[in-house]
Structure 1
Amino acid sequence: MLIWGWSRKIHQLAMLTLVCANCHNPSAHALRKAVTMFTLFFIPIIPLKTRHFLECTFCGAAYEVPKDNVHALIAQAYGADQRPGQPAQQHERH
């Protein structure tokens, strides 16, 4: 007897301040990645589907983001010279 199915994991990539298209409030939006995996005996084996979306923290509306725009949104959230997981760079004043 084989036990198979799928599971979904959601990873938060960044937080951005944007104006929501649904509620029209400037609020934080979470950029998230949802990965659906084929599982065999509860072990994730093959990724079936990956999608990226923005979710408004004010009203909860979610909008799918094309894969081409994800890197630009991450760069906007963390700055052009900073990557996720790295500490913010300190600039010295002279």
Structure 2
Amino acid sequence: MIIFGTKGYLYQLAILTLVCGQCGNPSAHTLRKRVTKFSLFFVPLFPVSTKYATQCTFCGAEQRVSAEQAEQLQAQALNGGQGGPGGPGGQGYGQPQQQRYQG
């Protein structure tokens, strides 16, 4: 008998201050990485899928981001929110608070 399946792992990569595309409030967003791994006899062997998302702590809205956007956001968090072109595009979501209010 062979026992196999998948198991999900959730990693919190960073916490950023971004403007939410859903509620429009500048608030903290968590950058998360979800990895699904194939397991054999309850031992995780290799990743099957990897997905990235940010979640607004104000309204709870979750936005999926690409791996490249996640890397940019994580680098931005390591730099203290300074510099870089920002995060994912579309509806103002993922734009750093400082960049939104510049004229």
Shift of 1:77: 1.0
> 2:46 maps to which residue?
46
TM-score, length basis structure 1:
0.79
Shift of 1:22: 0.9
Shift of 1:36: 0.3
Matching of residue 25 in structure 1 with residue 16 in structure 2: no
Gaps of 5+ in 1: 81-94
Distance 2:44 2:58 in 1: 33
Shift of 1:6: 0.4
Distance 1:3 1:60 in 2: 36
Larger radius of gyration: 1
Distance 1:65 1:38 in 2: 23
Shift of 1:78: 1.6
TM-score, length basis structure 2:
0.73
> 1:56 maps to which residue?
56
Amino-acid identity (%): 50
Matching of residue 36 in structure 1 with residue 36 in structure 2: yes
Shift of 1:69: 1.4
Shift of 1:2: 1.2
Shift of 1:64: 0.8
Aligned pairs, number: 80
Distance 2:38 2:6 in 1: 4
Q: Which ranges of 4 or more aligned residues in structure 1 deviate by more than 6 Å?
A: none
